[in-house]
Amino acid sequence: MSQETGFIQTFQPFIQEAWTRAAYQAPTTVQAQSVQPIMENKDVLAKSPTGSGKTLAYLLPVLQRLNAAGKQPQAVIMASSHELVMQIHSVIQEWTKGSELRTASFIGGANPKRQLEKLKKNPHIVSGTPGKLLELIKMKKLKMHEVKTIVLDEGDQLLVPEHMKTIEEVIKSTQRDRQLLLYSATLAVKTEELASALMNEPVTIQVDREQAIKAEVRHVYIVSEQRDKLRALEKIMRAAPVKTLAFIKDIGSANVAAEKLAYNRMPVSLLHSESGKTDREAALRKFRKGDVQLLLATDVAARGLDIQDLEQVVHLDFPESIDQFVHRSGRTGRLGSTASGTVISLVSEREERELKQYAGKLGLTLERRILFGGEILTEEDRNRNGRRR
């Protein structure tokens, strides 16, 4: 029996059918390691890089354990942003097709009456932001006495001072024997300590960045001075106009870059931590629909973001660490799927040396390319083209 067959055949038919629809291959490392402890009702503390399949790692065994005959929520998933909550809710909807399981999502700023109507439909699994969930609990609208599992998605963004008290109150509203699962791309020592204090002898899962970077992704780099990088990004987009997520270091640089690109008639969506809810939703909607092929984002704003069929990631500004390089690059060629992708790093001569060090540590093959005549070429191709002209 293959790893793929053995893994998915442990689940109910509706989950197996969703797996087939998604055309997934074998489970990723974090998925394979998560099933047994979650099914055994153990607490789990998991760190696994972006793109490694964390959502399904906890979601599939959680769905497997839900009782469709129940009338109250049995699982609650918390996430720090509206976007991530809606993303999780969308995944749950996809993976509960063909079952009798019901799901609902709750975020601040949404229509209160409509949110209460959702609870009247007796959802089995609920996702939401901590503040909104606690508000519903205090209103005695969200009943927690049958909740067996609480998930903290991107837990390092949740176990911070502004959320900590709220999360503790949500957890305390459940029975003492509840299960707590925390999944995150990064896990600082302080976050791990805070999580462990809330947990009961957690099983620790840690997927190394080397294990997570082996997806079907080409790694290309182009040498460019810092002042020329934005122009290089324009040329890349004109040469290969595919769905591209470009990372930039800070909000100020992002705003300036977006203005310059727009001035040069390069359609772009912009995402940073100061983007308003409406602007954020509009930017992502245009990008996901394909109305705009380029999404420019800061690292903080892109955390937890899952974009289907993302063909290209561009490091417009060089990543500050090898972990940041892995997290950014993991947005394309998602592990466990048949998708492939390209990662393009725009680097100065100094950054080229750092990139090669990253590649050596991660076991990656780098391909050097040149922007020439409106195309992305190898040095050999450029020389051939030059001779022809």
pLDDT range class, residue 215, cuts 50, 70, 90: low
Report the phi/psi class of residue 373: left, alpha or beta, with left for phi > 0 and alpha for psi in -120 to 50: left
Q: Where are the alpha helices (DSSP H) in 224-306?
A: 229-239, 251-263, 277-289, 299-302
For residue range 256-278, list pLDDT tens digits in order. 999 999 899 999 988 887 777 77
The yes-or-no verdict on residue 100 having pLDDT over 50 is yes
The yes-or-no verdict on residue 310 having pLDDT over 90 is no
Q: What's the pLDDT score for residue 338?
A: 45
Domain-terminating residue out of 181, 207, 233: 207
For residue range 157-182, list pLDDT tens digits in order. 899 988 999 999 999 999 989 999 99
3-state helix, strand, coil split of the chain in percent (to 5) is 45, 20, 35
For range 194-221, the mean pLDDT? 82
pLDDT range class, residue 81, cuts 50, 70, 90: confident
Statement to judge: residues 202 and 80 lie in one domain: yes
Statement to judge: residues 278 and 347 lie in one domain: yes
The yes-or-no verdict on residue 337 having pLDDT over 50 is no
Q: What's the pLDDT score for residue 1?
A: 36
Statement to judge: residues 172 and 34 lie in one domain: yes
For residue range 111-133, list pLDDT tens digits in order. 778 888 899 999 999 999 999 99
Statement to judge: residues 304 and 273 lie in one domain: yes
Q: What's the pLDDT score for residue 231?
A: 94
Statement to judge: residues 376 and 347 lie in one domain: yes
Statement to judge: residues 183 and 279 lie in one domain: no
pLDDT range class, residue 219, cuts 50, 70, 90: very high
Domain-terminating residue out of 207, 230, 250: 207
**86 token code pair:** 């809606």
Tell me the percentage of the chain whose pLDDT exceeds 70.
91
Statement to judge: residues 94 and 35 lie in one domain: yes
Statement to judge: residues 241 and 326 lie in one domain: yes
Statement to judge: residues 243 and 367 lie in one domain: yes
Q: What is the CATH number of the domain that holds 349?
A: 3.40.50.300
Overall pTM surpassing 0.85 (yes/no): no
For range 212-220, the mean pLDDT? 71
Q: What's the pLDDT score for residue 93?
A: 95
Domain-terminating residue out of 161, 178, 207: 207
For range 85-91, the mean pLDDT? 90
Half-sphere CA count of 8, side-chain side, radius 13 A: 22
Reference 51, options 213, 210, 218; nearest CA is: 213
Task: Return the higher-pLDDT residue of 352 and 108.
Answer: 352
Total structural domains within the chain: 2
Q: What's the pLDDT score for residue 336?
A: 45
The yes-or-no verdict on residue 335 having pLDDT over 60 is no
Statement to judge: residues 142 and 244 lie in one domain: no
For range 75-81, the mean pLDDT? 94
pLDDT range class, residue 184, cuts 50, 70, 90: very high
Cβ within 8 Å of residue 63, ≥6 positions away: 12, 15, 92, 95, 96, 99, 101, 125
Q: What's the pLDDT score for residue 334?
A: 57
Statement to judge: residues 218 and 136 lie in one domain: no
50 vs 60: CA distance, rounded Å: 18
The yes-or-no verdict on residue 381 having pLDDT over 80 is no
**Boundaries of domain holding 352:** 211-388
The yes-or-no verdict on residue 192 having pLDDT over 70 is yes
Q: What's the pLDDT score for residue 211?
A: 56
Average pLDDT, the chain: 87
Q: What's the pLDDT score for residue 276?
A: 72
Statement to judge: residues 201 and 244 lie in one domain: no
pLDDT range class, residue 333, cuts 50, 70, 90: low
Cβ within 8 Å of residue 278, ≥6 positions away: none
For residue range 5-62, list pLDDT tens digits in order. 478 888 999 999 999 888 777 888 899 999 999 999 999 999 988 777 899 999 999 9
